[in-house]
Amino acid sequence: MDQRAQRLRQARNERGYETAAAAADAFGWSRNTYASNENGNAPFSYRRAKAYAAAFAVSAEWLYDGAGGAQLPGDGGLVPVIGQVGANPDGTVLFALGQDPAELAPIPPGGTARARALRVAGHSMRGVADDGALIYFEDQRTPPSPDMLGHVVVVETDTDEVLVKRLLRGSRSGVFDLESVAGPVRQDARLRWAAHITAIIPPFQARRIIRGAA
């Protein structure tokens, strides 16, 4: 097995997935493709390394060619602001997964290098977070847990949308209703992952702590 494949297996193991198939299922990857990447039969590209690195919370550069350490770049305890939320009526997070962030923000109290931040744009989340606030969550990519029901969380649907919604039980097992802070309820959505909101920073303080990624 080549070293790139070995690093991928290490990252998967340290993230808590016992098998390649379990990781592939959790993140919606092809089992055969991921297994071939991990056993070294099919070397993966840097673009694919970035997707795997985001899922396993490691550095893409380390995963691809061993550069630096496995730990995500912290830049003195800073984590990416990955996009905006609330800028459009349905509450979709406006960002492109895998793009380099334009802004960084300090890790919140109790957070880790896996923390990510969203900037609130507009007033559709009034009562939860005002325009310009930062919403933090841990980029854990794990299925919804019972303690999330009734709470506003960050989710990704099986249609590739990242949303900030109140999580409610759906009409049957495996699906969930997603209640907007202001707007209609989306019923029986299938989710890839959900994450608790770990901190909300008010707009005035957010303006003081956000830094340009450059």
Q: What is the pLDDT of residues 39-91, one digit of tens each?
A: 999 999 998 998 888 788 788 888 998 876 666 554 457 888 888 887 555 55
pLDDT value, residue 55: 80
In a domain, 103, yes or no: yes
Average pLDDT over residues 179-195: 87
In a domain, 174, yes or no: yes
Please name which of 71, 140, 107 lies closest in space to residue 209, comparing C-alpha atoms: 107
Which residues partner with 162 through β-bridges?
156
Q: What is the pTM of this model?
A: 0.63
Q: Which long-range contacts (CB under 8 A, 24 or more apart) does 28-35 make?
A: 28/158, 28/192
pLDDT > 70 in the chain, percent: 86
User: Is residue 106 located within the same domain as residue 53?
Assistant: no
pLDDT value, residue 76: 53
Using 50, 70 and 90 to split pLDDT, how confident is the model at 96? Answer: very low
Which of 17-31, 81-95, 126-140 has the lowest average pLDDT? 81-95
What is the DSSP code (8-state) at residue 91?
Answer: -
More confident: 84 or 195: 195
H or E stretch including 64? helix 60-65
Whole-number mean pLDDT of the chain? 84
The answer to whether residue 171 scores a pLDDT higher than 90 is: yes
Domain boundary among 30, 65, 100: 65
* Sign of the torsion formed by the C-alpha atoms of 96, 121, 190 and 55: positive
b/e code 169-202 from CB counts within 10 Å (16+ = b): ebeeeeebbbbbbeeeebeebebbbbbbbbebbe
Domain boundary among 65, 90, 111: 65
User: Is residue 59 located within the same domain as residue 88?
Assistant: no
User: Is residue 83 located within the same domain as residue 46?
Assistant: no
In a domain, 73, yes or no: no
Residue whose pair of structure tokens reads 């939320």 in the numeric block: 85
In a domain, 51, yes or no: yes
The answer to whether residue 97 scores a pLDDT higher than 60 is: no
CATH label of the domain that carries residue 59: 1.10.260.40
Domain containing 22 equals: 3-65
Domains in the chain: how many in total? 2
Cβ(183)–Cβ(90) below 8 Å: yes
User: Is residue 88 located within the same domain as residue 191?
Assistant: yes
Average pLDDT over residues 182-195: 88
pLDDT value, residue 94: 55
Which of 67-71, 109-113, 210-214 has the lowest average pLDDT? 67-71
User: Is residue 46 located within the same domain as residue 120?
Assistant: no
More confident: 52 or 1: 52
H or E stretch including 53? helix 46-56
- C-alpha 3/C-alpha 5 separation (Å) is 5
Phi and psi (nearest 5°) for 77? 90, 25
In a domain, 70, yes or no: no
User: Is residue 127 located within the same domain as residue 150?
Assistant: yes
CATH label of the domain that carries residue 130: 2.10.109.10
User: Is residue 191 located within the same domain as residue 149?
Assistant: yes
In a domain, 72, yes or no: no
Sheet of 176-179: strands edge to edge?
A: 185-189, 176-179, 162-169, 152-157, 191-201, 134-138, 115-120, 78-85, 103-106, 211-212
Q: How much of the chain is helix, strand and coil, in % rounded to 5?
A: 25, 30, 45
- C-alpha 35/C-alpha 58 separation (Å) is 19
User: Is residue 84 located within the same domain as residue 61?
Assistant: no
Average pLDDT over residues 10-27: 86
User: Is residue 43 located within the same domain as residue 138?
Assistant: no
In a domain, 18, yes or no: yes
User: Is residue 88 located within the same domain as residue 172?
Assistant: yes
